[in-house]
Amino acid sequence: MATVPIAKKRCSKRCYNQRWSSLSWIASVLFLVHLLVFGQGQRNNAGAARFVRDGVAKLHAFSEPNRPSPPYWPKYSGKRHVYILDGLWNTSQLPVDTPFDSMNPELDPSTIATPNLTVVPSTIDNAPPGYLGFRGVSWFRTTFQTTTTTNTMAARIQFQACSFYCRVWVNGVEMGDHKAGGYVAWWLDVSSAVLYPVHQQSTITVELTVLVDNRWNVTTAPMHTGGDFWHYGGILRSVEWHELPAGGELQETQQKPELWPWRLYIFPQKDLKSVHLKLQLVQRHYTGPVEDIVVAFNPDEPDRMSRLILFGYAHPGKNGMVDLGIVQVPSPRIWSTHDPQLHEVSVDLNGATVTERFGLRHWDTTPSSGGNASRIQLNGQVIKLVGWNHHTQWPYTAASPTDDQLDADLALLQETGHVNFVRGAHYPQDPRWLDRLDEAGIIMWCETLGPDTTVKNMQDVYFLKYQNQQINEMLDSAINHASIAFWAFFNEGPSDKEDACSGYQASSNAIQARDDTRFITYASNKSPMPDKCANAATVLSRNGYPGWYQTSDPSEYWNSIASAAALTTKPFIISETGAGGIYEWTHNTTATMWTLDYQTQVISQDVDNAIANPNISGICLWHFFDFKVDDKWENNTHCDYLPDVEPPLCGYIDVDTSKALGRPGGLNHKGVVDFYRRPKPVFSIVAAKYQEVTDSKKRYYGSEKVHASLLAR
């Protein structure tokens, strides 16, 4: 182990202004509120306290009854009154070592005090790299008023993400809990009896209490199977309040309730002119007739009436899903990476309206011009995917980024227009991020949480139950996003074991039953290629680190794996590869491991080979930015920071330059930008290589030789 001196270096003016100051006042308030409430920093800073008070006043105004609708898709109108409960909540935390059974059926939330304030959404354990964050039980409480349109309304609470185990009470009555992973959207219903316990009224007061437990055990957190990243806890994303008609959903009944739409799912067809529509009713138990469903494409454009479709009579199938069949899209425009055209479609039922957004695109495969391998096609054209893995992790806001932070990351990805592919590692993604990728024409890989699973997991009925729930919740939330091309699961799981394949196949079958318009894959690090569970995938994906964890030459390593994958006639993607480079280590006499020169050499070889090889359909480098890792690497492992430098810079860091396995300073340093989004030298080099693929005709074919008939399209 060596102590490596790091050159003293400040962020450039451009880097500081564009990367750091893009944090909005909400991010700063969030951080300072945590400092004051949870003691993660100095408490005697009068200026900080004043800033918190000013920010709290703004957030308090934001949290008053006139709340906004969700800023992401879908949109709601008519009788569908939906608003977010984001803002200031009361909170408290139990001491870390306090024995506490979060599933205790006798637990009474009224006995729990919540005297402190925090912002929702936020992260409860957003300690800097090298420091352990909070692991334990937190309580969150908010009280709000809602004015209903009738005197007998019910409601649905939707959490876009609550991590890890979450339990919910409304007006002191338990509504339910959630165990299927901390990064997926889920909901609970609230009956009119809970909202109107004494008498009916048009304005009601609601107290919402949430227990959040981010400790790990197989009962409350079955989806936590490991993974080399920090698993954040808290109400990470927005909380939505949906007013609904009373009855129908809350119990099985033969009486016909007032039927409302929950979501409209859109499946683009191969002709790029039509879509298959499926309407999800709020009332999932209802099996009777549904009358007078009105669908309107691009409802805000002129001549709306010419785009109306009336379904006079239909019957729901399983779980309140109404199949509306295949319909033509008026004035169809195609979604692609270079021209991401998007459509809107509204569905109205009994005056309740939901508007969805979608893109007309078609994914399939075609034989490679250079061999047996299949290539990925978008809209009938072969495309080479080039991009990065991207965790949900930011300075100060952790897993609850501001809009400005999302925009800044997207701007980096789009710098010089070089990227067309992002892998959402290793869990379902924030809807705001998916919206941005839809609009930018960046292809997305979306996967369930569950890295480093075992054969035991694959044979565990309890685990598989919640994995199936997580898959369906992920699809429920994200299925209309045009950018998503891949559904995935079980990063680096036991796919080399025959006994595990039934679990892989169960997840694949669950996806296929819902969506046959996208690819199914999993990122394997097992040999040989293909591994034993490959039948569960329509695209083969491999994580490998030649020149870093493996001693192989990157070209030899990837050419060998790609040739083996080609024999299966399935497309092949490099789902992870890369090398570590410490941002501050700019000068060294030799390009030794962990230096920026060494990182640049290895990654350049990975990228050059992936672009040139026709048996490789894409490459997704690990990782876009340096990120905070799991608990075992975060216990007082931080570097020695230079004083009075913002964003922080390491002055000294302990690193063993003879070994690749390590997390110096509590970070995985494989990013092409650092934790604070300051670019490393390899960033611009890779961007230029990627741009050769994404530019003009090369956006589809890369630098490899292709048949002239393809280039003539």
Can you tell me the distance from the alpha carbon of 475 to that of 481, in angstroms, rounded to the nearest whole number? 10
What pLDDT score was predicted for residue 571? 97
Same domain? For 392 and 347 the reply is: no
Same domain? For 296 and 349 the reply is: yes
Give the Å distances, CA to CA, from 220 to 175, 177, 182, 466: 16, 10, 11, 11
Can you tell me the distance from the alpha carbon of 445 to that of 620, in angstroms, rounded to the nearest whole number? 10
Same domain? For 353 and 403 the reply is: no
Taking CB atoms within 8 Å and a gap of at least 24, the contacts of 637-644 are: 637/130, 637/663, 637/664, 637/665, 637/666, 638/128, 638/129, 638/130, 638/131, 638/665, 638/666, 639/6, 639/130, 639/664, 639/665, 642/8
Same domain? For 455 and 315 the reply is: no
Same domain? For 367 and 353 the reply is: no
Say which CATH number the domain at 120 has: 2.60.120.260
Same domain? For 531 and 615 the reply is: yes
Give the Å distances, CA to CA, from 147 to 62, 186, 188, 204: 17, 24, 20, 7
Given a contact cutoff of 8 angstroms between Cβ atoms, the answer to whether 19 and 676 are in contact is yes
Last residue of a domain, one of 309, 343, 358: 358
Can you tell me the distance from the alpha carbon of 190 to that of 184, in angstroms, rounded to the nearest whole number? 20
Given a contact cutoff of 8 angstroms between Cβ atoms, the answer to whether 187 and 137 are in contact is no
Q: Which residue has the tokens 């007061």?
A: 205
Same domain? For 354 and 368 the reply is: no
Last residue of a domain, one of 358, 390, 406: 358
DSSP H or E segment with residue 683: helix 681-694
Can you tell me the distance from the alpha carbon of 470 to that of 184, in angstroms, rounded to the nearest whole number? 7
Structural domain harbouring 207: 68-245
Would you say residue 10 lies in a domain?
A: no
Profile the chain (713 residues) by mean pLDDT over runs of 10 residues: 44 32 40 42 32 36 62 97 97 91 97 98 93 94 79 87 98 98 97 78 87 94 92 97 75 70 98 98 92 93 75 89 96 96 97 98 86 88 97 96 98 89 97 99 98 97 98 99 99 98 99 98 96 98 96 94 94 98 88 94 98 96 95 85 93 86 92 97 96 72 44 36
Same domain? For 233 and 341 the reply is: no
∠ CA 468-439-341, rounded to 5°: 105
Would you say residue 62 lies in a domain?
A: no
What pLDDT score was predicted for residue 470? 99
Would you say residue 23 lies in a domain?
A: no
Same domain? For 189 and 312 the reply is: no
Would you say residue 47 lies in a domain?
A: no
pTM: 0.90
Would you say residue 6 lies in a domain?
A: no
Would you say residue 11 lies in a domain?
A: no
Same domain? For 549 and 454 the reply is: yes
HSE of 361 in the Cβ direction (CA atoms, 13 Å)?
26
Would you say residue 2 lies in a domain?
A: no
Farthest CA pair distance, the chain: 80
Last residue of a domain, one of 309, 342, 358: 358
Same domain? For 482 and 532 the reply is: yes
Backbone angles phi, psi at 90, to 5 degrees: -80, 150
Given a contact cutoff of 8 angstroms between Cβ atoms, the answer to whether 627 and 667 are in contact is yes
User: Rounded to a whole number, what is the distance in angstroms from the first to the last CA of the chain?
Assistant: 57
The count of domains in the chain is 3
Same domain? For 424 and 283 the reply is: no
Would you say residue 14 lies in a domain?
A: no
